[in-house]
Structure 1
Amino acid sequence: MGTFKIEGGHQLHGAITPQGAKNEALQILCAVLLTDEAVTIHNIPDIVDVNKLILLLEDLGVKIQKKGKGSYTFKADDVNTGYLQSEQFKKDGGGLRGSIMLVGPLLARFGMGYIPKPGGDKIGRRRLDTHFEGFVKLGATFRYNREEHFYGVEAKELKGTYMLLDEASVTGTANILMAAVLAKGTTTIYNAACEPYLQQLCKMLNRMGAKIQGVGSNLLTIEGVEKLGGTEHTMLPDMIEIGSWIGLAAMTRSELTIKNVSWENLGVIPSVFRKLGITLEQKGDDIFIPKHEDGYEIQNYIDGSILTIADAPWPGLTPDLLSIILVMATQARGEVLIHQKMFESRLFFVDKLIDMGAKIILCDPHRATVIGHDFKSQLKATTMVSPDIRAGISLLIAALSAKGTSTIHNIEQIDRGYENIEERLKAIGAKIVRL
């Protein structure tokens, strides 16, 4: 189990560039299975979850060539579908939540898709019903081995249909979309997710020859085609990493520039941070954050009531940023209610912040009230264990702002979502060592 040792209380300075988007990568990489032609992808983040998926593709028989940092060419012209029923696949596929998105492309092209119960963050229930209900509506037969927790779908032919998703699941929409592009006839997906990463997937598939309309809306219409071709694709910067660096700048009262953020794809993220009192300046496609020497003040609502920040499907605020916003609020001037609607275990890391001296009331599994210190009482260093990716980065931000030397164990969770993090933080002045 890896460990970070962090000496907190130092101001940072300089510029940091966000990695390619993890959540986009997991979709885009699975889509290479939809064609036997070469697909070149740029700006792929070098992180554990993405690298695991690349290895899974290689084990499936996909030919992979590394072209440079973050750039790969994939060619799925000799896929070994027998690997899907092997014990090795059951082991490897079960260690990565993103492996669920292999099912749609495999079903569309080869008439079969299997997956062990996926792993990932322990943040509460993350059901797969939406995925498999969509496949069944397209004409697939579903089966589930309860003893081995092994899922499967099979179909001789997929047929387009109308479906209303029971939730606007990003991975569910992506998976069903990838199955539908090669189905016979027209598929309509209502209550579809419309995150920028899903829009990126749609644009890439259309360049490959798919016929998808309604991109960016919650109503997608897909006219099935017989075959897809190769393409080249560049992934967006990771909006969760961008939010993480905004939180880091605020908590350490540092002057930072976040480079190449793709402002037009950030949605409500800048305005949410501004409600917390953070000054963000747009300079070209960069975000400049000045030193907040006098701290930052949380806005109340017009009637004076306490601000509530809650997650919601796009264009609402992504749930992945709530942990970071919660940590930032511990040193703000004012109070805020954090409402994590989507996952019932994601706020359970707040006990570690309370140990550091934060004023947090955990109301229930979904809500926490934070009373800010206004930097009058600095967080105290402590020893912590990272429970998941986003809690892990939040604890790291807290440690970098705290007085004294903190230790964070189980940092493999952070490595799953953040590329080469300690070297990038050292480059802007952080005192961090990997043990």
Structure 2
Amino acid sequence: MSTVFEIRGGRQLSGAITPQGAKNEALQVLCAALLTDEQVTFTNVPDIADVNALLDVLAEMGVKVGRPAPNTVVLQADAIDPDYFATHTFRKRSSQLRGTVMLAGPMLARFRRAYIPQPGGDKIGRRRLDTHILGFERLGVKFEYDTELQMFSLSADRLTGTRLLLEEPSVTGTANMVMAAVMAEGITTIYNAACEPYIQQLCLMLNRMGARISGISSNLLTIEGVAKLSGTDHRLLADMIEVGSFIGLAAMTQSELTIRNVDAHQLGLIPDIFRRLGIELHLQGDDIFIPAQEHYRIQKFIDGSILTVYDHPWPGFTPDLLSIVLVTATQAKGTVLVHQKMFESRLFFVDRLIEMGAQIVLCDPHRAVVIGLDKQVALRGINMVSPDIRAGVALLIAAMSATGKSTIQNIHQIDRGYERIDERLNALGADIRRV
């Protein structure tokens, strides 16, 4: 029998909570440890299913993995087995974890061969590999596709610097190109590169290892290839998705919360978007303080039209928080259009919110109109299933604000991205049981 969350809602929370290290950064920088045979030490690493699955893959391919303290990981890739990628074990693991695609860049840089399986991870719609494969090809990589194994086989005699114009500012695609190019011969430029804080963190880490990357934080990266990289220490940023989730949770449960050590300078539009939903929040140094609010009113655009919140490549609003925005708006005063542009299946969880009593019109797979209840009518507890990481936490927030008992099945999806979320929220006064 699978584990579920039982939530008894309607409780006000109080206290302080610290966000975990950033999941999406972890999946990139841990792969980058393959670029050197020296020791690389990571701190503030989230202890979550996706990260642990990637560490298992690294260990199976020959990387020495140490965990000397909580949320600290030490990697040394001095005895790698490149043939591991052709095994059934790797194919099985990678079918469940999107992050393994970022092993290809460092493997090509160091060993001149790699394998990419069809993507795994969330069931949130199509995720293309074109950006990765076409970019590698421009660097001098040849590829073959095995239809039976559903696996790309990549190889190169040498990697040569080139000019890349990415078709889309893919975060994982940019990370892969950067990690391949740091040890290519000559200079590589990557235009239309993703410039998320996690890409910035990866580039800064690589530069400490001896890489020569300029243009960091812009969408034009210039990389001068080097022959060898060395070890380093790296601390991960706070997970901005957890920060946004906790802001929405505070508003929905009328709670006074302090979110500690949020790396505020890297949050981009996140505080502003939640303020547009009417949520009062205050930046206090590197903390965010949210007072208890009985009501919050969604702003309109200056011309009086209905607010639209949509995702966009950084420095636009991250798609990972649209689920949180949507559920938070259900108890606001006013109306908002949520437009999920980047993935076509992420809004289907709204059926469960409608069943709980929310007023939502699902226009199509990408757009939903939320008419806020203004806390006049509470959501009611129901039984539901978590379809993906972000929708799972959105449903958890809804359940915590609802009257009565809710159950959420398939909580493995939540555990993939959130560290001990039930324990941490219970410490603030929530009532979540893992049964």
Question: Which of the five TM-score ranges fits, normalised by the shorter chain?
Answer: over 0.9
| AA matched with 2:91 | K
- Aligned pairs for 1:193-342 (under 5 A) are 193-293=194-294, 295-342=295-342
**Conserved? CA contact 2:257–2:291, under 8 Å:** yes
Measure, in 2, the Cα distance between the counterparts of 1:13 and 1:94. Answer: 40
Runs of 4+ residues deviating >3 angstroms: none
Measure, in 2, the Cα distance between the counterparts of 1:7 and 1:247. Answer: 18
Q: Which moved more, 1:383-392 or 1:149-158?
A: 149-158
| AA matched with 2:408 | I
Measure, in 2, the Cα distance between the counterparts of 1:349 and 1:32. Answer: 37
Measure, in 1, the Cα distance between the counterparts of 2:93 and 2:386. Answer: 22
**Conserved? CA contact 1:161–1:188, under 8 Å:** yes
**Conserved? CA contact 2:119–2:127, under 8 Å:** no
Measure, in 2, the Cα distance between the counterparts of 1:187 and 1:414. Answer: 38
Per-residue CA deviations over 1:331-376 (Å, capped at 9, x if unaligned) read: 0000000000000000000000000000000001100000000000
Q: 1:110 offset after TM fit, Å?
A: 0.2
1:2 partnered with 2:3: yes
1:371 partnered with 2:384: no
**Conserved? CA contact 2:98–2:121, under 8 Å:** yes
Per-residue CA deviations over 1:51-81 (Å, capped at 9, x if unaligned) read: 0000000001001111201111111011011
Counterpart residue number, 1:119: 120
Measure, in 2, the Cα distance between the counterparts of 1:410 and 1:206. Answer: 40
Measure, in 2, the Cα distance between the counterparts of 1:259 and 1:66. Answer: 24
| AA matched with 1:242 | V
Q: 1:184 offset after TM fit, Å?
A: 0.2
Counterpart residue number, 1:136: 137
TM-score (norm 1): 0.99
Measure, in 2, the Cα distance between the counterparts of 1:383 and 1:240. Answer: 25
Measure, in 2, the Cα distance between the counterparts of 1:317 and 1:256. Answer: 23
The two structures, once aligned, show a CA RMSD in angstroms of 0.6
Secondary structure at the counterpart of residue 91 of structure 2: helix
Q: 1:185 offset after TM fit, Å?
A: 0.3
Secondary structure at the counterpart of residue 327 of structure 1: helix
Structure 2 unaligned residues grouped into runs of 5+:
none
Q: How many residues align?
A: 434
Aligned-pair identity in percent equals 64
Counterpart residue number, 2:168: 167
| AA matched with 2:359 | K
Secondary structure at the counterpart of residue 416 of structure 1: helix
Counterpart residue number, 2:180: 179
Q: 1:118 offset after TM fit, Å?
A: 2.4
Measure, in 2, the Cα distance between the counterparts of 1:152 and 1:209. Answer: 29
Q: 1:288 offset after TM fit, Å?
A: 0.3
**Conserved? CA contact 1:90–1:115, under 8 Å:** no
Counterpart residue number, 1:359: 359
Measure, in 2, the Cα distance between the counterparts of 1:91 and 1:303. Answer: 53
Q: 1:115 offset after TM fit, Å?
A: 2.5
Measure, in 2, the Cα distance between the counterparts of 1:366 and 1:65. Answer: 42
Measure, in 2, the Cα distance between the counterparts of 1:308 and 1:375. Answer: 21
Q: 1:119 offset after TM fit, Å?
A: 1.0
Q: Which moved more, 1:59-68 or 1:322-331?
A: 59-68
| AA matched with 1:29 | L
Per-residue CA deviations over 1:238-279 (Å, capped at 9, x if unaligned) read: 000000000100000000000000110000100000000001
Counterpart residue number, 1:108: 109
TM-score (norm 2): 0.99
Counterpart residue number, 2:28: 27
Secondary structure at the counterpart of residue 229 of structure 2: coil
Q: Which moved more, 1:88-97 or 1:195-204?
A: 88-97
| AA matched with 1:420 | R
Q: 1:152 offset after TM fit, Å?
A: 1.7
Counterpart residue number, 2:65: 64
Per-residue CA deviations over 1:149-177 (Å, capped at 9, x if unaligned) read: 11121001000000100000000000010
Measure, in 1, the Cα distance between the counterparts of 2:418 and 2:153. Answer: 31
Measure, in 1, the Cα distance between the counterparts of 2:17 and 2:385. Answer: 26
| AA matched with 2:208 | R
Measure, in 1, the Cα distance between the counterparts of 2:356 and 2:384. Answer: 10
Measure, in 2, the Cα distance between the counterparts of 1:310 and 1:87. Answer: 40
